[in-house]
Structure 1
């Protein structure tokens, strides 16, 4: 990524450069710092959800080992684009054979999104890990390790990255706002955290998009992410459960037009709100709604018509509401 683009993207501009700057992953950072002090490390496998600092930690580790010019001692490949056996046999093999830095007896090969490597490429990588252990260390990054073959996993020290805590994400967002001189509402930053689900990169991207429109408010945040406000989704569900089907249908159309939502977007928001503490229904009703929402999402993924499926879902909610009322009499 060019330096100019990095300056434009806040997620890159404010990416931690050293292990000391990494937020939240205390146990991971502690173990990585030990490698820096010892100037030695095994092959590493970083696993965890997106945006939790896996790639950042790999770069920070290399920075702390080699200094500012660490790039010349690290080969970075994104396995989504370069996932075949030819890449492993040529680029990686050529780099592994090259001269190592004098102070540190090894170089680093960073394989991002390693789960996308083909089976043959993984087997080739396993052999290279065996052949060049004396001069090269491999860092593999994966959201989920299940697609990494066991012989590779067994050769790596596994580091598990967890979703970031709310207070850490919000504190980082506030710090960026101060650096950029942008105004914000506290509630808006809390909403950004909820929408990002502990993904720092996504949280910063949402913040930057919202700040481009002026003061960062709750309304602006929902506008830039293209999601309806939770209370509006709950209102639509309640209208249907109360037997007011046409009003619920009109609310659905209003949400889809105003926010540009797809059918899957709506169903995902309904599913999220069903488990919200603000949604006041008995536990068994939550279970029924969540179960049926899953069926509707499956049909939408398979290509069913958005409007027909969502109207059918509201009709089902209306009938459910009538059954509940009848049972209470």
Structure 2
């Protein structure tokens, strides 16, 4: 595909893994999927975990490995952006489940419902019967952020795979991979800034890196925080160091400087928490800091969005 920089594909899609062994992180869940792919007998599955960590990618890779050339005809993917009320379950999903497709022996058609926790309860009730009736030919994979929002009868029919946020090292290694493929100029502090902002969300990390490269041509910590518009952790760290030495006035000036620069109280308090968590200080002191940050965060979340809380 001949792309100019102006119309480049999103790196999230361009570098999306195609096979299970390419997926970064969540090795336990991925190894279970690899075992399923090897045997070929896929149960109905629910993949639960935060966004941007590879749930949908895992299912697509699994389908590709199990179904081979039949992948195009034997997989139906419905996202939250598609209408997924009760009539879609009754018509579209049922029609696909009844469709005859030539598959390798022992394989099933696959229906992927992304963000299944946003389906209405009535649609989920209709789905459970469909799952039973067509269990001979069709399997369901439901990806969701919160498995508790999926009704109990569907949960009992599925094997649940739990996904967790990726570690900083995993995100960093993948960013270096993509940077090498896209011949991006970067410094290590720039990639570390992206990892800090992404908080284990690979989609966020790749989008942030692409935005930074589009805007500034290179990835440095300064350009990353401009693009992602988060308070500079170095400033927050300086404020915390001042506090530890008893310099309340300096710390207050730094925080008020961030407030004056237009950052929301929630952004400042969240960055404060992230920096404190990673800071090297005695455990008891760290817990005291985190407790106070927690109380302030709670008040801000309840709507007291004033300077006084900071």
1:103/1:269 CA distance change after superposition, 3 Å: same
Query: 1:190-229 maps to which residues of 2 (within 5 A)?
Result: 190-212=192-214, 213-229=216-232
Asked if the contact 2:29/2:161 (under 8 Å) is kept, the reply is yes
1:296/1:277 CA distance change after superposition, 3 Å: closer
1:305/1:23 CA distance change after superposition, 3 Å: closer
Which sits farther off after the overlay, 248-257 or 119-128? Answer: 248-257
Query: 1:297-308 maps to which residues of 2 (within 5 A)?
Result: 297-308=297-308
* Inter-partner Cα distance in structure 1 for 2:169 and 2:241: 32
Asked if the contact 1:100/1:106 (under 8 Å) is kept, the reply is no
What are the ranges of 5 or more consecutive residues in structure 1 without an aligned counterpart? Answer: 311-329
**Considering only CA atoms, is the larger Rg found in Structure 1 or Structure 2?**
1
Secondary structure of 2:97 counterpart? helix
Which position in structure 2 is the counterpart of 1:277? 279
- Post-superposition Cα deviations, 1:147-189, rounded to whole Å, max 9, x if no partner, equal 2222212211222223323333222211111111111112322
Secondary structure of 2:113 counterpart? strand
1:35/1:224 CA distance change after superposition, 3 Å: same
- Post-superposition Cα deviations, 1:173-230, rounded to whole Å, max 9, x if no partner, equal 1111111111111232233223322221111112112222122112222222212222
Which position in structure 2 is the counterpart of 1:175? 177
Secondary structure of 1:234 counterpart? helix
Q: 1:230 aligns with which of 227, 230, 233?
A: 233
* Inter-partner Cα distance in structure 2 for 1:91 and 1:221: 43
Secondary structure of 2:278 counterpart? coil
Asked if the contact 1:45/1:156 (under 8 Å) is kept, the reply is yes
How many residue pairs are counted as aligned between the two chains? Answer: 304
So what's the TM-score if we normalise by structure 1?
A: 0.82
Which sits farther off after the overlay, 78-87 or 199-208? Answer: 78-87
Q: 2:109 aligns with which of 94, 107, 127?
A: 107
What are the ranges of 5 or more consecutive residues in structure 2 without an aligned counterpart? Answer: none
Query: 1:244-259 maps to which residues of 2 (within 5 A)?
Result: 244-245=248-249, 247-258=250-261
Q: Is structure 2 residue 72 aligned with structure 1 residue 71?
A: yes
Which sits farther off after the overlay, 113-122 or 30-39? Answer: 30-39
* Inter-partner Cα distance in structure 2 for 1:84 and 1:6: 35
- Post-superposition Cα deviations, 1:269-292, rounded to whole Å, max 9, x if no partner, equal 1222332324x4x54544444333
* Inter-partner Cα distance in structure 2 for 1:252 and 1:169: 29
Q: 2:124 aligns with which of 111, 122, 125?
A: 122
- Post-superposition Cα deviations, 1:114-153, rounded to whole Å, max 9, x if no partner, equal 1122222221111111111111100011223222222212
Quote the offset at 1:68 in angstroms. 5.6
Asked if the contact 2:231/2:267 (under 8 Å) is kept, the reply is no
* Inter-partner Cα distance in structure 2 for 1:244 and 1:199: 34
* Inter-partner Cα distance in structure 1 for 2:31 and 2:243: 52
Which position in structure 1 is the counterpart of 2:51? 50
Which position in structure 1 is the counterpart of 2:28? 27
Which position in structure 2 is the counterpart of 1:41? 42
Which position in structure 2 is the counterpart of 1:93? 94
Asked if the contact 1:233/1:270 (under 8 Å) is kept, the reply is yes
